[in-house]
């Protein structure tokens, strides 16, 4: 199995744990918790900021002793907008499940900790359509660069069955602004129906990194560098939640030169 593919543990609780240490990089962290009604998860953020994303289900949330009440409207990542909570560094947070709850904990460095904790409600979000034809996909920016945070960028995408995504292939692994930013990235994949699978390739121009993976429901793909296109198989819609962070909080990408003609091909 590819070293870039992280399989979830069976059962409930924390089923996925990606840290800078076990990923071999510097910025991005990603945990996935599956909670039963009444179960609670929480932690101190330390020198990292956190974006809690309600992938599916409902739960009450608090941060720094502020009660945000019960959040979450959708019971599937394929049905509506997520709720989320931003929590700065130097804070504590807690979530208690009201229903079966799938909670993503997205993290990145924050040595300042001067932003307030806040709710990002479904009403604050909108869906953007990108691409045309079988490259069409639907994007929801949860924590984009025009919203306050120190390092984190968080977005989710739904790619219909038979379509490609993160395509034409692009990369963001060079600190070369304004042309390209250096960002590590995780992809948390879900499939509808869940027995499906999709594909993702992570590769560099010189092919010193070139790995192709079948991704199944609940898998995480690590993108330390290089291009990283996805494909959803016919009959199975592909959802993914992206977490990005790097030395500068901006998303500037470089398209693979040999495939850039696709942008204007219609």
Average pLDDT of the residues in 189-213: 98
Q: How far apart are CA 259 and CA 255, in angstroms?
A: 7
Report how many domains make up the chain: 1
pLDDT, residue 256, reads 96
- H/E element, 128: strand 127-130
Mean pLDDT for all residues in the chain: 96
Q: What is the DSSP letter of 96?
A: E
Query: Which of residues 101 and 264 earns the better pLDDT score?
Result: 101
What is the rounded average pLDDT of the residues 197-218?
Answer: 97
Radius of gyration of the chain from Cα atoms?
18
**How confident is the model over 90-123, as pLDDT tens digits?**
999 999 999 999 999 999 999 888 999 999 999 9
Residue 263's pLDDT band (boundaries 50, 70, 90)? Answer: confident
pLDDT of residue 49: 98
b vs e for 61-71, b when ≥16 Cβ sit within 10 Å of the residue's Cβ? Answer: bbbeeeebeeb
115-163 per-position pLDDT tens digit: 999 999 999 999 999 999 999 999 999 999 999 999 999 999 999 999 9
Q: What is the CATH number of the domain that holds 220?
A: 2.60.120.10
Looking at residues 198-202, what average pLDDT do you find? 98
- 220 phi and psi, to 5 degrees? -120, 135
CA quadruple 111, 26, 255, 220: dihedral sign: negative
| Proportion of the chain above pLDDT 70, given as a percent | 100
Mean pLDDT of 41-65: 97
Q: Which of 216, 217, 228 is nearest to 254 (CA)?
A: 228
Q: Say what the pLDDT of residue 266 is.
A: 58
**Residue 130 in 3-state DSSP?**
strand
pLDDT(37) > 90: yes
Residue 26 has pLDDT above 90, yes or no: yes
Q: What letter would DSSP give residue 82?
A: P
Phi-psi map region of 65: left, alpha, beta (phi>0 left; psi -120 to 50 alpha):
left
State what percent of residues in the chain have pLDDT above 90.
96
**What does the alpha-carbon distance between residue 21 and residue 29 come to, in Å, rounded to a whole number?**
9
Three-state DSSP at 174 gives: strand
Q: How far apart are CA 158 and CA 79, in angstroms?
A: 10
Q: What is the reported pLDDT for 154?
A: 98
Domain boundaries, position 59: 5-264
Encode pLDDT of 212-225 as tens digits: 999 999 999 999 99
């Amino acid at each position: 199995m590819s070293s870039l593919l992280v399989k979830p543990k069976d059962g409930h609780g924390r089923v996925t744990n990606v840290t800078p240490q076990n990923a071999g990089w510097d910025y991005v962290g990603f945990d996935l918790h599956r909670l039963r009604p009444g179960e609670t998860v929480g932690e101190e953020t330390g020198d990292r900021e956190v974006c809690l994303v309600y992938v599916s289900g409902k739960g009450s949330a608090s941060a720094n002793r502020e009660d945000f009440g019960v959040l979450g409207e959708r019971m599937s990542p394929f049905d509506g907008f997520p709720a989320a909570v931003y929590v700065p560094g130097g804070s504590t947070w807690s979530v208690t499940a009201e229903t079966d709850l799938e909670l993503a904990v997205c993290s990145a460095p924050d040595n300042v900790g001067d932003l307030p904790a806040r709710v990002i409600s479904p009403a604050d979000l909108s869906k953007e359509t990108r691409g045309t034809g079988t490259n069409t996909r639907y994007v929801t920016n949860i924590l984009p660069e025009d919203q306050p945070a120190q390092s984190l960028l968080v977005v989710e995408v739904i790619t219909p069955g038979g379509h490609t995504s993160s395509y034409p292939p692009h990369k963001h692994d060079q600190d070369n602004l304004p042309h390209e930013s250096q960002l590590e990235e995780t992809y948390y994949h879900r499939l509808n129906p869940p027995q499906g699978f999709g594909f993702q390739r992570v590769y560099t121009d010189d092919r010193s990194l070139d790995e192709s993976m079948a991704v199944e429901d609940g898998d995480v793909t690590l993108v330390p560098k290089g291009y990283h296109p996805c494909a959803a198989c016919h009959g199975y819609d592909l959802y993914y939640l992206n977490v990005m962070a790097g030395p500068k909080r901006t998303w500037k990408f470089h398209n693979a030169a040999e495939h850039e003609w696709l942008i204007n091909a219609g």
